[in-house]
Structure 1
Amino acid sequence: MSQIVENSVEKLFNKGFISITVINFVVYLVYYLLMVIIAVIAQDQLHASLGQAGLASGIYIIGTLLARLFVGKKLELVGRKAVLRYGALFYLLTTIAYLYIPTIQLLYLVRFLNGFGYGTVSTATNAIVTAYIPSSKHGEGINYYGLSTSLAAAIGPFIGMILLNTTSFYFIIIFSIVLILLTTIACFIFPVKNIQITAEHRAMLESWKLNTFLEKKVAFISSIAFVIGVAYSCVLSFLSSYAKELNLVAISSFFFVVYALVITFTRPMTGRIFDAKGERYVMYPSYFFLTLGLFCLSVTHSGWLLLLSGAFVGLGYGTFMSNGQAVCLKTCDGHHIGIALSTYFIGLDLGLGVGPYILGELHQFLTFPKLYFVSGLLPIACAIVYKLFYHPSYEKKEQALRLQRANQNK
């Protein structure tokens, strides 16, 4: 069945959509679970500096970035099925490798390879799900799918911080291995359909021109995603260390629970707003709420304000992450979706990857509160740039379609 045929199915919650969304959730869950604890492990067990610990967190994303560059280009050539299955297997093997990390240098290597495995699988799932979303429900479909990613971004760190405070690193890795093993089995069972590509498109993908690795139509939103990723990396990599400094370790575990609850209740609404009114009605609020969340973190000395910041960060980063992906879907046609989504996540992941190292080095000169304040300025800059320079070519077409649907509903 081709992607075009599958997209003609108007039912959003079909079996394929649900299955690949669950697989994606577990893949991201393990990523975020390990991301939030690695900096602490590197400092406590390998005696790394905060900058080295930040690099241990961030180098994972460099591996992910390279995977997205390579796999995004080769996805349709190799086939979505093979990329998903063997990427999951490599993700499993590199997760097992965490059982032996005697030095910080070896940790860098394992993190890099594990990031490559994660990037391979997630690039495949992000493309595969588009075949199961009706074209009239891009915003709603991607937001529900993105909910799996956002929930993983909340539940993963919550589990990681709970396990870090109650168990050992060895137990956390065994737990992660079990999750990835079950996911790998699911990937080999899931009946992925490869899309048919034309000879012209195949020739384009086999070339080594820049546009076969990156999609220029989504360059702007991908650049914005990079900056948002840097801002959010301050939360992801250093919240555990900041909470220790504030003596709020116990309550900080619930930061991501609040994050998860907020995005669970708001995600369906933001998807419908995206489809009904356009992206601007969800993107600008996402910048505002992320800034507000980071500013709250910069002044918090109490548990309730820490949790409130979790709600604002969820409304900000969680909303941006999935709706930026929906922008890519509306910008590109079916044959370019794989490269477009890869380009978008390269921007986002690169921000998450370099952010911990840059901010970790800045911590030599700035306290944690000042570091979170500086991070909070970044979404403001994104909103200004977005307003000044982003004018999607499809906007008039989308407005006409929305008007047509409104007239039909009368």
Structure 2
Amino acid sequence: MNESPQASRVKLWTIDFTLLMLCNFLLFLQLHMIVSPLPSYVQERFHANAFEVSLFTCLFALCAIAARLYSAKALERGLRNTMIYLGLTVALLATLGYYFAGGIALLLLLRMIFGTGFGMTSTAFPTMASDIIPVKRMGEGMGYFGLSTSLAMSIGPMIGVTLLQGAGFTTLMLCTAGVIAVIYPLSLSLTRKKANKVASSAGSVPQAQPKAASVSGTREKLPFNRKLFLPSILNALLAVTYGGLVGFIVLYGKEANLSNPAFFFLFNAIAILIVRPFAGRLYDRKGPKALLIPGTFFMAGGLILLSFATSMPLMLLSAFIYGIGYGSMQSSLQTWMIQIVAPSQRGMANGMFLNSLDFGIAMGALLLGGIASLTSYTEMYRYSAVAVVLFLIIYLIQGKRSGSFDVQVHPLLAHTHIEGKDKETND
């Protein structure tokens, strides 16, 4: 994973890359603006129990996963623009439909429809980014791109909870719909271009490679790549802990008498902002082990500290510690998944990354919600740290078994990785 000093000189920050980051940020922002305040709203409005509340996260995630399974194949067939605009339209209409939801059943149905639209668009944006980012800066580039997702996941709940408490659910719904609407004009310049044009100019591998099938063998014909299972499982375990945060941090704040629990996400975002640029460069030089192993200690420490938080300063410190671990580990897993598949399977890799993220969040909300109903939210966050410990155990066992903790970069990417140095330009 060692890089030459010249690798950092390949141009990364293009207009297309910046626009993609902004579109992806807004897409995940509108999602997380409503994910965290929704359990509190449903509980107060419809007097829902813990199981019913968890269904809003679980069913949304399952529909997003199903949509991505189709979207990955559609992207391989060149239907990128269709996935973006169809997904945005479905998500927008479902969001506006919240206004007419007078019961739990209809609100659940709208969340499922929204999940379908979100799954389509959320697969397209990171796939476009992995085509644009130069291969020699893939770790750094996906680290920055993943920052748009992590920041949205961090500040979205805080904005959503503030809007719900201060202005009500209708205002929250209109604001999230407005965020989706803004994505349409921003993505126009991106969708007008051919899918592979920017990839070729940025130093990535063109999608059409006659040797791809022979390199990957029969795996190219499968709807999945078995190499993606390990990082997907690890990503799901990380997401389990985040599911407990977005689903129950507001309710935990009431239990622990914390005045503003939504500020947890603000300090989590600050930590991610600080660590993400360094994490991407470290990944390119040292590989995932330099981030994943120490990151588990930060995440577990943040969760344990949160469970003992009886004051705002202690809660904010736990958020910062958790953010250091989560911010460095999640982008590493996404880069890992992109690097081990052929360029034609980047849609599949990003789809599996996002699916494992949503699956983990859904299972986290479901399992940890059950634990909280039997014990307390304080105990629940201590149990959630077990997922991080399990992450570390699986990663260490697999590394020992394979004899290496380094990522085995796909041959097509490895070949491109050592070419074209004479064409490098300053950023």
Q: Deviations over 1:14-35 (max 9, x none)?
A: 0110011100000000111111
Contact (CA 8 Å) 1:37, 1:160: kept in 2 or not?
yes
CA shift, 1:148, in A, is 0.5
For 1:321, the equivalent position in structure 2 comes to 330
Alignment of 1:92-241 (within 5 A): 92-190=92-190, 191-195=192-196, 212-241=222-251
For 2:274, the equivalent position in structure 1 comes to 265
CA shift, 1:144, in A, is 0.6
Paired AA for residue 311 in structure 1: F
For 1:247, the equivalent position in structure 2 comes to 257
Change (3 A) 1:352 1:388: same
Change (3 A) 1:109 1:202: farther
CA shift, 1:376, in A, is 0.7
Give distance in 1, aligned partners of 2:34 and 2:367: 20
Change (3 A) 1:393 1:315: closer
For 2:6, the equivalent position in structure 1 comes to none
- For normalisation by structure 1, the TM-score amounts to 0.89
Task: Give SS of 1:301's match.
Answer: coil
Change (3 A) 1:394 1:299: closer
Alignment of 1:226-375 (within 5 A): 226-250=236-260, 252-375=261-384
Contact (CA 8 Å) 2:26, 2:179: kept in 1 or not?
yes
Contact (CA 8 Å) 2:296, 2:389: kept in 1 or not?
yes
Identity %: 28
Contact (CA 8 Å) 1:38, 1:57: kept in 2 or not?
no
Give distance in 2, aligned partners of 1:121 and 1:257: 26
Change (3 A) 1:25 1:271: same
Give distance in 2, aligned partners of 1:385 and 1:228: 12
Task: Give SS of 1:249's match.
Answer: coil
CA shift, 1:384, in A, is 1.1
CA shift, 1:172, in A, is 0.3
For 1:381, the equivalent position in structure 2 comes to 390
Change (3 A) 1:42 1:10: same
Paired AA for residue 223 in structure 1: I
Contact (CA 8 Å) 2:240, 2:363: kept in 1 or not?
yes
Change (3 A) 1:223 1:84: same
For 1:408, the equivalent position in structure 2 comes to none
Paired AA for residue 363 in structure 1: A
Contact (CA 8 Å) 1:91, 1:117: kept in 2 or not?
yes
Paired AA for residue 342 in structure 1: G
Q: Deviations over 1:12-56 (max 9, x none)?
A: 000110011100000000111111011111101111112211111
Give distance in 2, aligned partners of 1:192 and 1:219: 32
Q: Deviations over 1:330-351 (max 9, x none)?
A: 2112111111221122112111
Give distance in 2, aligned partners of 1:397 and 1:175: 42
Contact (CA 8 Å) 1:88, 1:187: kept in 2 or not?
no
Task: Give SS of 1:363's match.
Answer: helix
Q: Runs of 5+ in structure 2 lacking a partner?
A: 1-8, 197-205, 214-218, 420-427
Paired AA for residue 258 in structure 1: F
Contact (CA 8 Å) 1:232, 1:317: kept in 2 or not?
no
CA shift, 1:83, in A, is 1.4
Task: Give SS of 1:13's match.
Answer: coil
For 2:203, the equivalent position in structure 1 comes to none
Matched, 1:90 2:81: no
Contact (CA 8 Å) 1:331, 1:394: kept in 2 or not?
no
Give distance in 2, aligned partners of 1:357 and 1:41: 18
Give distance in 1, aligned partners of 2:331 and 2:99: 33
Which shows bigger deviation, 70-79 or 303-312? 70-79
CA shift, 1:321, in A, is 1.7
Contact (CA 8 Å) 1:27, 1:180: kept in 2 or not?
yes
CA shift, 1:202, in A, is 12
Give distance in 2, aligned partners of 1:202 and 1:278: 24
Task: Give SS of 2:36's match.
Answer: helix
What is the Cα-based RMSD across aligned positions, in Å? 2.8
Q: Runs of 5+ in structure 1 lacking a partner?
A: 1-8, 204-208, 406-410
Q: Deviations over 1:259-312 (max 9, x none)?
A: 111111111001111011111001112211111111111111111111011112
